[in-house]
Structure 1
């Protein structure tokens, strides 16, 4: 597990003046659990800073916070621009097969290219790993109606690209934008005694005052 010290430049330096806050909730908080470390600052000026390391995921956020009906609400400012995949070329493949690749092969780091696929007549999204040459294995009798690369670790809006009939070679470009920035919109933290409780990535994160 990584230490909260990872968040030192992000979370600790700005807090000195904000710790003695007019709001009883303002101050510095931290949370540590198996494979997870997190930090949160609620400033007396109504601004917050947040950081989380959880397995392969690292995220941060900054913006405004407020109290309402006994809970803390976080809103990221400025608004997050989500990552996305955009098509840079789409041409006939010549052999009737569907191929998908990235214009920058290392854009996903160590992760292999996995695709979110929709088949004709099937509303479900299927996740398919491309072959080494980019060929997309398509089950017999199925026709790919829409496709887009799947972003590993981080959430991204699902924006499918319609696939033309016949074999195609489609090349996507990955725009990282604000990947790794938490898109809080009145994100709720419960107040339980001296702890702030955030449900995030299917985990309950309990922030306690001070830096562990």
Structure 2
């Protein structure tokens, strides 16, 4: 954990130096949430601003914004609101064989894995995850019609916006646009308050932020 922790701490303090004006809020301070295989840091300024950073496995995220205390909890909100990543369509050409063919403009994104698509069929309320054939053709079950689709990257907790299809064959090339990837989209993210410990539920883990010396 030693190589990760200094990077996270440096990120937080460089992004938002800590200060202590006279009208200091009770909760303000520097909090350390690091544990086995995880580095986490939270800075709460007396003026209501915050800086947050988390490094956990392949995940690295950070945020700046504002915090408020309400109803016995601490609420964190990223400001400005980050622009989420997406897949843009580079080209969408008719496919003579009537099938749907898909590809990425940067195949290295897959790191050697097969391309999987999140496919929404007409009349379905949730997408199905379908692995694309080696030649780029998307297998479609008999009787099914594809209404929308988007490449699936499992690193994202929420599905990326899907691309709606018109009837017929398609040959589509997608380009990944990271936008504000790596910035946590906190929207009144609730942290429990247990004495001087702040309790955060994030990415399936419980993070205990304990106030440190600064």
TM range (shorter): 0.7 to 0.9
Q: TM-score, normalised by structure 1?
A: 0.86
Deviates more, 1:101-110 or 1:86-95: 101-110
> Which stretches in structure 2 are left out of the alignment for 5+ residues?
none
Deviation readout 1:31-53 (Å, 9 max, x if unpaired): 13343221111112221100111
- How do 1:189-200 and structure 2 match up within 5 A? 189-200=191-202
Deviation readout 1:119-160 (Å, 9 max, x if unpaired): 223222111222333221222332222111123312455422
Match among 191, 204, 207 for residue 205 of structure 1: 207
Deviates more, 1:68-77 or 1:107-116: 107-116
Cα distance in 2 between the residues matched to 1:115 and 1:132: 13
* Deviation, structure 1 residue 70: 2.3
Cα distance in 2 between the residues matched to 1:20 and 1:111: 55
Equivalent position of 1:7 in the other structure: 8
Deviates more, 1:33-42 or 1:157-166: 157-166
Matched, 1:122 2:140: no
| 1:64 to 1:111, Cα distance in 2 relative to 1, 3 A | farther
Q: TM-score, normalised by structure 2?
A: 0.86
What is the SS of the residue equivalent to 2:33? Answer: strand
* Deviation, structure 1 residue 73: 1.3
Match among 163, 179, 188 for residue 161 of structure 1: 163
